[in-house]
Amino acid sequence: MSTLRIAEIFGPTIQGEGALIGMPTVFVRAGGCDYRCRWCDSLHAVDNTYRHDWLPMQSRDVFERIKDLSVGAPVMVSLSGGNPAIQPFEELIDTGRAEGYRFALETQGSIARDWFAKLDMLVLSPKPPSSGETVDWERFEVCIAAAGSASTVMKIVIFDEADYRWARHVANRYPALPLYLQPGNHTPPPPEAEDAAIDMEGILERMRWLVDRTVADRWFSPHILPQLHVLLWGNRRGV
């Protein structure tokens, strides 16, 4: 039996980001991350001061919660965090898949697991300069290899021109990975704040800028999408 450190389980809601945007999804958010991005919107699953809220759960109990939330109907499950690759999720994936559930996982690509190959989708989100983190590309490539034939996509958050240029460079390096560009949200709330105001105008402005910038470059391969759940519900947790 695998014990998982869980910050929250919520849904079904819609997947608000990337390739599966709009798809009804249950989210399982693991506690703990090996990064500390300057603009992380999920600090309640990253910052150690919240570790007392990360409950140890058996994967069987996580699956029971997913089944309760989805009323038994197999739904897409998104494993996020924190960095969910830190946790032993293989058993949950095996159990869920046996009952028809599908699994996506979001990670920065710093830790690879053999069981990535069992995912329906691996979302790799390497961190641009504005994050303050530095990508270890060798490790990133081990993640790509670990996914095997599982569908793998890349999602890059863009705040500014330096991030944009970096994303172009990364896209050239990994031309086989479908690419999603996502404008950054500058106002991560303190995790306690239920309804913190968001910088909606800033998000929309960066989205318009990103579309203009990409089209002006005649760069037509990436999808450009805002965080739909943030537009709908702001920085609220559990949506």
Ligand X SMILES: Nc1nc2[nH]cc(C(=O)O)c2c(=O)[nH]1
Ligand Y SMILES: C[S@@+](CC[C@H](N)C(=O)[O-])C[C@H]1O[C@@H](n2cnc3c(N)ncnc32)[C@H](O)[C@@H]1O
Which residue stretch of 36-44, 62-70, 148-156, 169-177 sits at the interface with ligand SF4 (rule: CB under 6 A)? 36-44
CB of 9 or CB of 57, closer to ligand X:
9
**Minimal distance, residue 73 CB to ligand SF4, in Å:** 29
Nearest to 163 by CA among 110, 214, 109: 214
Q: Does 184 bind ligand Y (CB under 6 A)?
A: yes
User: Rounded to whole angstroms, how far apart are CA atoms 129 and 115?
Assistant: 29
List, as own/partner pairs, every contact residues 54-58 make where C-beta atoms lie below 8 angstroms and the sequence separation is at least 24, other chains included: 54/5, 54/6, 54/7, 54/30, 55/5, 55/6, 56/3, 56/4, 56/5, 56/6, 57/3, 57/4, 57/5, 57/6, 58/1, 58/2, 58/3, 58/4
Q: Does 81 bind ligand SF4 (CB under 6 A)?
A: yes
Q: Is 44 helix (H, G, I), strand (E, B) or coil?
A: helix
Q: Does 8 bind ligand Y (CB under 6 A)?
A: no
Footprint of ligand Y on 149-168 (CB under 6 A): 155, 157
The one-letter code for the residue type at 70 is S
Q: Does 130 bind ligand SF4 (CB under 6 A)?
A: no
Determine if residue 11 is labeled as part of a ligand binding site.
no
Q: Helix crossing, 90-98 with 59-69: angle to 10°?
A: 40
User: Rounded to whole angstroms, how far apart are CA atoms 150 and 104?
Assistant: 10
Q: Does 41 bind ligand Y (CB under 6 A)?
A: yes
Determine if residue 143 is labeled as part of a ligand binding site.
no
Footprint of ligand Y on 80-119 (CB under 6 A): 80-81, 83, 106-108
**Minimal distance, residue 99 CB to ligand SF4, in Å:** 28
Determine if residue 56 is labeled as part of a ligand binding site.
no
User: Which of ligand X, ligand Y, ligand SF4, none sits in contact with 70, Cβ below 5 to 8 A by type?
Assistant: none
Q: Does 235 bind ligand Y (CB under 6 A)?
A: no
